[in-house]
Amino acid sequence: MATVPDALIWEIVRKNNAFLVKQFGNGNAKVQFSKEKNNLFNVHSFKYFGLANKKTVSFQPAGKDLSVVLAIIKSKRQNKPASISHSKHFILLYKLVIWHIAILAPDGHVFDKPSF
C-alpha cells in the first residue's frame, strides 16, 4: 500500500472535516480550531494537524487516579493502522512523561518549543 503525502491530505481536509470548529473572534474575523486527539494546541493548521503529520503526540486523562495516557504515532507503521500508535499509561509525573517522550521519539526531539 502506498502512502499519501502529508500536504495532499491537508489540502483535501483543510476546509471541511469532522474535527473543524469555526468560531467568530474579534469583530468579523473567523477563528478555526481543531478538536482531534493528536492536536495538542487545538489549532487548525498544517503544523499541528495530527492526521496529516507522521509524528504526533497526544495526552489523555486515564481515570480518577490522576494518571495520564501518552500516545505516540510510529512513522514507520503508516501502512498498518492497527499498530500505528504506541500508548503508555503513566501516573501523573511530569519528568517521567517527558523522559519517555524523548526515548520513544526517533530523533529525541518531539517538540520544537523550549517549554517541552
For 33-80, the pLDDT digits (tens) are 888 888 878 888 888 888 777 777 777 777 766 677 777 777 776 677
What global pTM score does this model have?
A: 0.58
Fill in the amino acid letter for 10. W
Q: How do the domains of the chain map onto residue ranges?
A: 1-53, 54-109
Query: Would you say domain 54-109 falls under CATH 3.30.390.110?
Result: yes
pLDDT tier for residue 116 given thresholds of 50, 70 and 90: very low
Distance CA 57, CA 71 (A): 6
Domain range 1-53, CATH class: alpha beta
Judge if 1-53 and 54-109 fold alike in CATH terms. Answer: yes
Closest CA to 75 of 105, 116, 100: 105
